[in-house]
Homo-oligomer: A and B are copies of this chain.
């Protein structure tokens, strides 16, 4: 039984409450700037504040520095986890592969990597990003694989972590390192997703 209103343990902090509109405007502005040509480099606290129609103070009151702001903006950006049909391992993995692929294809999400890069100096930030954004996604994949092992669809001796990393790694890398991105990145991602899931399931050995 939770506390009743009159005994609420969170008695509303004193002072003027923070503006929810400001919160939203700042995040929006950040994402906007991120999506423009300059990418992360185009995000400056001053620009964010200006575009959000907000004082710099208001930004700094909520986020202690640029990195933190960008991580939060990015976290707000991740596509929601997809619904899984649960009919077969193959179908579920395909759904997940597509979803992860989408997270790395669209204009704004691509720059997650830029930020992540700067995290060598902010280990606690990277940790937070991992915990809040990455792990939940990996966990879903793990769940599908575990279920597959249980139902006998997958090998009983499967190293789940390895399989997760292969799926996520392949979908993450796509469009980033290989030769000039194709004219039709979405189509390419789709084909890759299918290819990866099938290769993973059947193996590549003859």
Contacts and interface: CB of A to CB of B under 8 A. Distances in A.
Interface of A: 37-42, 110-111, 113-118, 120-121, 127, 130, 134-135, 138, 145, 152-156, 158-159, 161-163, 165-166, 168-174, 176-180, 192, 195-196, 199-206
A96 B83 CA distance: 36
Identify the 3 closest CB pairs spanning chains A and B, nearest first: A203-B203, A114-B117, A169-B169
A138 B173 CA distance: 13
Nearest to A152: B206
Nearest to A67: B41
The number of times this chain is found in the oligomer is 4
Given A152-B206, A206-B156, A166 B169 contact: yes
A168, A204, A206: residue with the most chain B Cβ atoms closer than 10 Å: A204
Contacts of A163: 199, 204
8 contacts: A130-B177, A135-B179, A152-B206, A158-B199, A161-B195, A162-B195, A165-B196, A166-B170
A42 B172 CA distance: 27
Contacts of A172: 169, 173, 177
B138 A178 contact: yes
A159 B197 CA distance: 12
Contacts of A39: 118, 120-121
Contact of A121 (B37, B161, B199): B37
A178 B202 contact: no
A200 B166 contact: yes
Contacts of A204: 145, 154-155, 158, 163, 200-201, 203
Contacts of A203: 199-205
Nearest to A131: B179
Contacts of A154: 204-206
Contacts of A110: 120
A121 B168 contact: no
